[in-house]
Structure 1
Amino acid sequence: MGCHNTSTLVQTTGEELKVLLMGNPNVGKSVVFSKLTGMQVMSANYAGTTVDYVQGRIKYQGKKGILIDVPGTYSLEAISPAEEVAVKLLKEGEAQVIICVLDATHLERSIDFAYQVMEYDTPVIFVLNLLDIAESKSIFIDIKALEKELGAPVISTIATRSIGLKEVLNKTWELAYQEKGIKVDKCLTQEERWKKACSIAEKVQVSLKETEPSLLDRFSDLCLNFFPGLPIAVLVLFVCLGIVVGGGKALRALILLPILNHWYVPFISSIVSSVLPEGILLNVLIGEYGMLIKGIEWPFALILPYVVLFYGILSILEDSGYLPHLGVIVDGLLSRIGIQGSSIVPFIMGYGCAIPAILGSRAATSHKERLIISTLVTLAVPCIAQTGAFIALLGNHSMLAIVIVYFISFSFILFGGMILNKMLKGEVSPMLLEIPSLLIPNEQALFKKIWLRIRSFMVEAELPMILAVGLAAVVVETGMLNSIGSLVQPLVVGWLGLPPEASIALILGIIRRELAVLPLLELNLNTLQMVVGAVVALFYLPCLSVFGILVKEFRLKAAMLISFLTIFTAFLVGGIIHHSAKLILSLF
C-alpha cells in the first residue's frame, strides 16, 4: 500500500457526522455498533460474518450522525471482497472520524492494523476492547502509554457490558468538531509496521504473568488437534443434530400439534363455516390445502420447532468460538474440493438458510472459491426449513430414510466440489483463520441473536409459505392440478414413480424448497416414494429469493446455470433411485 496524505482538517458543519467503525474480525466491533446505535445487528465469533457494511444512526449532545460498520479485516491490502469494501469506504474520504476497535488479547495484530488505518486522511479514535478477557489471561495494558505511542485517543471498553461506550461517543464528538485535525505521519513498510507493533505491545503490556491455562483453554487446544479434535467435532455435531431433531419432534408432538388439532382447527373451521357458504372460497380457506389450516400447520407446527432449535444451536456455536476450531479440523477435507477450512462457516450457515451462506462466501479470497461454495450450498445443502419438512415426511416412517437423504447430500457436496474444483479456473489460497478463545456465550446477546434470526425467518419464509399454500388451494380447487398433472405425468409418474398429485409439490417448490416436500405429507406414499420425493426436493430449484441473491452476486448467467444444475440433478437422481430400487426389488 502506498502512503496517503498525512493530515486532515475537519470542517465544522451542521450536517450529520459520518463515522466509520473498523477493526479486525472477532474484536467485538458489531457489539460496539449495536450498543452505540441501538440497531439490532448480529455479532459472531468468526471471520466473515459481516461482509457488507451496515449503517445506523447515532445521536449525542443534540447532534446526529451515521455510524457505518465496516467489514472486519486483518489488512487493508485488499485480497477479498470484504477487504475491498473496507478500503473503498476509506478511500471515499467522506467520514469525519474513524472508530478503530483493537483487541486487548491480540495487541500486536491490532496495532499493525491501526497503523494501516492511520495512513488515511481521517482522524482516528482507538477503542481497546475485550479487556475482561485479557485480564483473565493476566494481560494488563497501560492505556495512557498506548495512547502516547499511537498519537491518538485510546479508550478502554468492555462492549458486552457497555463499559466505556459513553466515553467513545464523547471523544468522537470532540474529535469531529475540533478546529484542527490529527496529523498522522505513519507511512511504514509491512515489515517495519509489524516490528513497530510488536515493540509497542511489549512496552504497554505492563504485566504479563504466567498463569495456568483455564479449562476452556485446554479444551480449545484439544479441539485444534486432529485427535481428539475430530472425535470431539463428530460428537458435537451429533449432539446438535439430536437436539434439533429430537427436540423438534417433541415440541411438535407434545405441544404444537395438540394445540393445532384440538383447539385451533375446530375453532377456525367453525367460524369460517358459519360465515361462508360451501364453495371454492371456503375450500381455499379451510379445505384440503386451506390457507387457514395448512398455512398455519406447515410453517408453525411442522417447521418452526426445528428452526428455533437450529438457530439456538448455531448461535451457541458461533458465540462460543467453536466454529473456527471446526474449520481447522476440516481444512484438509475441504481443500480437496477447492475451498478453505474456514468456509465451514458459510456451509453451516447454509443449513439455516442459503442466503447468508452465499453472502458469507464474500470472505473467501478468490472468485473460484466463492462460486464453489455458493453452488454447493444451493445444490446440496438443505436449509433448516427443508430439514424440518424431511423429518415431518420421513421421521415417523423410517429414520434410515432420513440418513439416506443426508448421505446423498454429503456425497454430492464432496463429489460436486471435486468436479467444480477441476472445472473452474483459478487458485485457492491456503487457510488464514483466526482462532478466537472459547467463551461462555453472553446470555443477553445470545437470546437477542436467536430472536432476531427467528423473526427474520418468520418474515422471509413463513409469509411466502402461507401465500404458497393459498396458491396450492386455488390450483387444487379450480381443477388446474389435473391439467398440470397431465403435462408432467411422464416425468412425475413414469420417471420418478410418484402419483400425479405430487406435481403440486413441484409447482410450490419454485417459491420455497420446503414446499416441494410438505404437500407430499397429504399423499399416501410408500417409503420409496417418500425418499424419491425428498431427494428431488433436496436438489430442486433454489427458492426465488436465493435465485435473486445468486443473480446479484454472480450475474444472471451463473444463476441460471446453477439453477439448471439443481433441477437436472433433482430429476436425474430421483429417477435413478426409483428405477434402481424397482430393479433390486424385482431381483429379490
Structure 2
Amino acid sequence: MDCHGNPKPISLAPGEEALKILLMGNPNVGKSVIFSRLTGMNVRTANYAGTTVNYTHGIVQYHGKKALLTDVPGTYSLEATSPAEEVATKLLAEGAHVVLCVLDATNLERNLPLALQIRQTGLPVVYALNLSDVARRKGITIDTDALAKELGAPVIATSAVKGEGLKTLLDTTLQAAQGQAIKAVTLPESFQNFWDEASRIARIAQRNESRPMTLWDRFEEMTIRPLPGLPIALIVLIIALGLVVGGGKALRAVILLPLFNNYVAPAITSAVSSVVSEGILRNVLVGEYGMLIKGIEWPIALILPYVALFYIVLSFLEDSGYLPRLGVLLDNVMRAMGLQGGSIVPMFMGYGCAVPAIIGTKAATSNKERLMITGLVALAVPCTAQTGAFIVLLGDHSMAALLGVYAISFGAMFLVGSLMTRMLPGTVAPMLMEIPNLLMPDGKSLLKKIWIRIKQFLLEAEIPMILGIGAAALIAETGVLGMVSGFMAPIVVGWLGLPAEATLALMLGIIRRELAVLPLLGLDLSILQLMVGSVVALFYLPCLTVTAIIIKEFSLKIGLLILLLTTLAAFVFGGLLNKIGQLLLVLL
C-alpha cells in the first residue's frame, strides 16, 4: 500500500503495471461470466457455489488502459465461515484500487448485506446489478439511481450472458480505479445488522409487480418438484447418455478411426521404420504396444469423442443452473448414502474429472462431508476418460454389460457411503442450497469452458499415456511381463478369472485408471471377463494427479488410506463378480 492507502500496481512485465480490481459477489450471481467477457481469457464458469474456490486472474485491456481483474470466490459474508469465504476475505484484506461487486437483481435484498460490508471497508466500489433482464421478466423493477444513492457508489444494470451494460460497467470501474481511496462508510446508530439495512434499502429501491407466470417460469418451478421434476431429470439424463454414447460411437467409427487406421498409423509406422531398424526400439515405438501408435489411437481416436461430448453436456448443465435442481430432486437418494442433495454437484463433476470434484468439496458443510464425497469420488465415480474406455471396451459387445458396471458403481457408493457415515466422526448438515435461475448459457463462455477442459484432458492424459504405453512395450519386449504375470497369477487368473496378460493392465493402471481398461482391447475375452476387468479398473488406484490432490487437501495418511481401500475394493468386487458370474453360467 502507498501512503494514501492505495494498493501498489501489479507488475506484469518489465516496466509494465496495472491497476488491481477485485470482482466480488455472492455465489451464482454471474461473476465468472462477467470475468470471462471483460478479460477475454479462457476461464471456467459455473452456475453454482464452490467452482471458483481457486481464484483467477485476468488482464483487462480497454482504450489503452490495463487492469488486473481477480475473480474472487463467491461469498455471502466477510465473516468467513468456509474456505471459499476465507480466500475472499484475504484477497480483500490485501487491498485493491476498486472492488467490482456483482448483485443479483432477482434477489437484491439477499445480496445487499455483502454489498454493505464491502462498502464499509472504505475501498472504492462499483456495483453491477446483474440479471436485470431476468428481473424485468419476473416483474421486478429496481431504481438504480435510488440504489446508488443508498449505497454511496455507482450501480450499473447488466445482463452478463447477453453482454448488456458491460461497456458502461467497465468505463465506470476503470474511472473509479484511478481515483483516491475513500473513507469507510459509517452506518447509522439505529442500524442493528446488515440484514436490517438490506431490507430498508430494498424497500426503497425495488418495486415488485404482479405478473402472470411465463412458460419459462412454470418450467423452472417444474424442475424442482418431484413431479414432474424426476421425469424431466430422467429425460435429461437419457438425452445426455444418448449424446455421449451414440455421438461418441459415430465420431469414432465414421471419422477418427478410419482417419487414424488409413492415414496416421501407416504414416507413422513408415516414417519410424525408415530410420529405425528392427528390434526392441522399433517395437517400443510402433509395435504391438507402440507408444507412437497407441499413444495417439487410445486417447484421441478412441476416448476423445466421448470426453468432448461429455464435457459439452456437463458444461451446459453447469452453466444453465440445472445441476442444483438435480440436487434438490435427489436429496432423499443422497441421504441414503449419508450425504445431502447439494453433494450431487461435486460428485457429478467427478464424472468429468476427480480433481475439480475434490477441490469443489471446499463448499461442503463439514469436514465429514468433504471426506465422504472425496472417498466416494476416488472409489467409484469413473472420470470421463474411464467412461470412454468402458464404452469402447463394452459398448460394442453388450450395452447391458456396460450398464451393469455402472449399476455396480452406484451400489458400491451406497454401500460404502452408508459405512462411512457411521464410522466417520462429525455430522452432515441438512441441504441448504441456493437454486439459481434457470438460464440459457452464454455461448461464448460455454465454448471457452469446453475448449479448456478438452485441452486440459489432452495435456494431462496424452503425456502420461504415451509414457505408460512405452513402459508397457518395454515390459512386454524384455520379458518382465512374464515374470510379473507369474507372480500375480493367483490373483489375476485364479481370483479374477482373467488371462495372465491382463496383468499388464493392472501395471499401467497405476499411472492412469483408463490404462487399466484399454490393454484389454487386444485380448480375446468373454463378456464376463470384460465386465470383471472393467470393475477392477473402476475401483482401482486413483490417478497420480488425483492422489496428489487428496494428499494436498487432506493429508498423506488419508491419501495412502484411500489408495489401500480402492485397491482392495478393486480386487474384492472384481473377484466376487467373477465367482458369481461363473456360478450363474453353470446354473443357467
Residue 94 of structure 1 and its aligned partner are, at CA, apart by 2.8
1:180 & 1:396 partners in 2: Cα distance? 65
Cα distance, 1:205 vs structure 2: 2.4
Give the Cα separation in 1 of the matches to 2:19 and 2:97. 6
When residues 179 and 259 of structure 1 are mapped into structure 2, their CA distance, relative to the original with a 3 A threshold, is: closer
Q: Supply the AA of the counterpart residue of 1:273.
A: S
Q: Is the 8 A contact 2:124 2:181 kept in 1?
A: no
Distance 2:282 2:185 in 1: 73
How far apart in 2 are the matches of 1:509 and 1:190? 61
- What displacement does 1:540 show? 0.1
Q: Is the deviation greater in 359-368 or in 262-271?
A: 262-271
Residue 584 in 1 paired to residue 584 in 2? yes
Provide the residue aligned with 2:471 in structure 1.
471
Deviations 1:95-152 (A, max 9, x none): 3322111111111111122122233343322111122222222322211111001112
Percent of pairs identical after alignment? 58
Distance 2:67 2:349 in 1: 33
Which piece of structure 1 moves more, 143-152 or 181-190?
181-190
Alpha carbons of 1:19 and 1:561: their partners in 2 closer, same or farther (altered >3 Å)?
same
1:35 has 2:30 as partner? no
Q: Work out whether residues 25 and 72 of structure 1, in 8 Å CA contact, stay in contact via their aligned partners in 2.
A: yes
User: Which one of 70, 73, 93 corresponds to residue 71 of structure 1?
Assistant: 73
> What is the match of residue 127 of structure 1?
128
TM-aligned CA deviation for residue 194 of structure 1: 2.0
> By how many angstroms is 1:463 displaced?
2.5
Relative to structure 1, the CA distance from residue 209 to residue 336 in structure 2 (aligned partners, 3 Å threshold; closer, same or farther) is same
Pairing 1:329–2:329 present: yes
Q: Which residue of 2 aligns with 1:195?
A: 196
Alpha-carbon distance in 1 for matches of 2:144, 2:254? 56
Deviates more, 1:57-66 or 1:312-321: 57-66
Question: How far off its partner does 1:185 sit?
Answer: 1.3
Task: Classify the secondary structure of the residue corresponding to 1:45.
Answer: coil
How far off its partner does 1:414 sit?
1.2
Say what the alpha-carbon RMSD is for the aligned residues: 2.1
Q: Which residue of structure 1 aligns with residue 257 of structure 2?
A: 257
Which whole-Å deviations, capped at 9, do the CAs of 1:389-446 have from their partners, x for residues lacking one?
Answer: 1111111211111111101100111111111111111112222212122222222222
1:52 aligns with: 54
- The match for 1:115 is 116
Distance 1:510 1:394 in 2: 22
How big is each residue's C-alpha offset from its partner over 1:549-572, in whole Å with a ceiling of 9 and x where there is no partner? Answer: 001101111011111110000011
Contact kept in structure 2, 1:108 and 1:197, CA below 8 Å = yes
Structure 2's unaligned 5+ residue stretches are 11-17
Superposed displacement of residue 343, structure 1: 1.4
Structure 1: which 4+ aligned runs deviate by more than 6 Å? 187-191
Q: Which residue of 1 aligns with 2:88?
A: 86
Moved more, 177-186 or 560-569: 177-186
SS of 2:20 mapped into structure 1: strand
C-alpha contact (below 8 Å) 2:119/2:184 kept by paired residues? no
5+ residue gaps, structure 1: 1-7
Q: Do 1:539 and 1:570's aligned partners in 2 also have CA atoms closer than 8 Å?
A: yes
Residue number in structure 1 paired with 2:361: 361
Moved more, 403-412 or 262-271: 262-271
Contact 1:123 1:182 in 2 (8 A): no
1:4 matched residue in structure 2: none
SS in 2 for 1:160: coil
3-state secondary structure, aligned to 1:199: helix
Matched-pair contact (CA < 8 Å) for 1:108–1:198 = yes
Aligned to 1:375: 375
**175-184 or 259-268: bigger deviation:** 175-184
Secondary structure of the 1:433 match is coil
Give the CA deviation at 1:211: 2.2
Native 8 Å contact 2:121 2:184 kept in 1: no
Report which stretch shifted further, 273-282 or 354-363.
273-282
Query: Cα offset for 1:367?
Result: 0.7
The aligned residue for residue 14 of structure 2 is none
The separation in 1 between residues aligned to 2:167 and 2:153, in whole angstroms, is 18
- The one-letter code matched in structure 1 to 2:201 is I
Partner of 2:13: none
2:235 is the counterpart of 1:240: no
More displaced 10-residue stretch of structure 1: 330-339 or 289-298:
330-339
Deviation at 1:61, TM superposition (A): 6.4
CA distance in 1, matches of 2:183, 2:106: 27
Tell me the equivalent position of 2:150. Answer: 149
Aligned to 1:551: 551
Structure 2 CA distance, aligned partners of 1:109 and 1:189?
A: 20
Which has the higher mean CA deviation after the structures are superposed, 543-552 or 465-474?
A: 465-474
Does structure 2 conserve the Cα–Cα contact (< 8 Å) formed by 1:12 and 1:178?
A: no
Change (3 A) 1:578 1:429: same
Deviation at 1:378, TM superposition (A): 0.4
Change (3 A) 1:13 1:141: same
- Separation of aligned partners in 2, 1:13 and 1:46: 33
2:102 and 2:196 map into 1 onto residues whose CA distance is: 20
Partner deviation per Cα, 1:273-331 (whole Å, 9 max, x = no partner)? 23322111111121101122211111111100101110111111112211111111011
Q: Contact 2:146/2:205 (CA < 8 Å) preserved in 1?
A: yes
What does residue 179 of structure 2 align with?
178
- Map Cα deviations across residues 343-377 of structure 1 (whole Å, 9 max, x no partner): 11111111111111101111112111011001000
Distance 1:183 1:190, change over 3 A: closer
Match of 2:96 in 1: 95
What does 1:394-473 align with in structure 2 at a 5 Å threshold?
394-473=394-473
Verify the 8 A CA contact 2:346 2:358 in the aligned structure 1.
yes
- Cα deviation for residue 460 of structure 1 reads 1.2
TM normalised by structure 2 equals 0.94
Aligned-partner residue type, residue 564 of structure 1: L
Which amino acid letter does the alignment assign opposite residue 35 of structure 1?
Answer: R
